[in-house]
Amino acid sequence: MTLLRFLLCLFIFVGALAAAGAVVLSILLMLSFPPLLLAVMLACWILSRLLRLLSSDQDNPN
């Protein structure tokens, strides 16, 4: 059981490390290629507008 818990913690650590590396790499890529940064910012803005629209539809069922 201890070995299983160790392997689980090891896989979680490796996954978190890979995710952090992917975030840092994507940020560096966005800073070196400005149109990609613009596209990500536009996608985040569209997503926030869509989520706000969907949440207001759930509040008002008409």
Give the residue-averaged pLDDT of 25-45.
Answer: 92
Given a contact cutoff of 8 angstroms between Cβ atoms, the answer to whether 30 and 40 are in contact is yes
Give the residue-averaged pLDDT of 36-40.
Answer: 90
Give the residue-averaged pLDDT of 5-26.
Answer: 97
What pLDDT, on a 0 to 100 scale, did the predictor assign at position 57?
73
Please give the mean pLDDT across all residues of the chain.
Answer: 91
| Rounded CA separation 9/46 (Å) | 36
What range defines the domain where residue 7 resides?
2-59
What pLDDT, on a 0 to 100 scale, did the predictor assign at position 62?
59
Total domains in the chain come to 1
Which pLDDT band holds residue 58 (cuts at 50, 70, 90)? confident
Given a contact cutoff of 8 angstroms between Cβ atoms, the answer to whether 17 and 23 are in contact is no
